[in-house]
Amino acid sequence: MSGSSGSSAGGSGVWVFKNGVMQLQAEQPAAARKALVYVPTSETMSSLELLERRLGAHGWERYYENRDIVQLHRRDGGIDLISLPRDFTQFRSTHMFDVVLKNRQNFKVVDVHNSS
């Protein structure tokens, strides 16, 4: 019989219960942190307001919002939606890659290396 040692191959993280689902959110080591960069100016997106302004310049506008999320859609009537957390501290790499996927020429995700 194999015992439960408490370790797993998947790494460490924090269990979060949200919307009726329990999920393990992995902790990202400092070397693996990501940042979303606006390519035309090499500017790192540091707030929801800044990101919305940059997306707005490329045809995105606010479509829906509640206390947790803001959704943007294209003014031209396209079917794409981008969902972003209202609290920018909850902005994760999945959100970044969603922005990049729908705006390939204007955004990129980069690794942030901290020396701390």
Q: 36: closest CA among 80, 71, 85, 79?
A: 85
* Res 81 pLDDT > 50: yes
pLDDT tens per residue across span 23-62: 777 665 544 689 999 999 999 999 999 999 999 999 999 9
Domain of residue 61, residue span: 29-112
Within a domain: residue 102?
yes
Within a domain: residue 44?
yes
Our count of domains for the chain comes to: 1
pLDDT tens per residue across span 86-98: 999 999 999 999 9
For the ranges 11-20, 41-50, 72-81, the maximum mean pLDDT occurs at 41-50
Within a domain: residue 2?
no
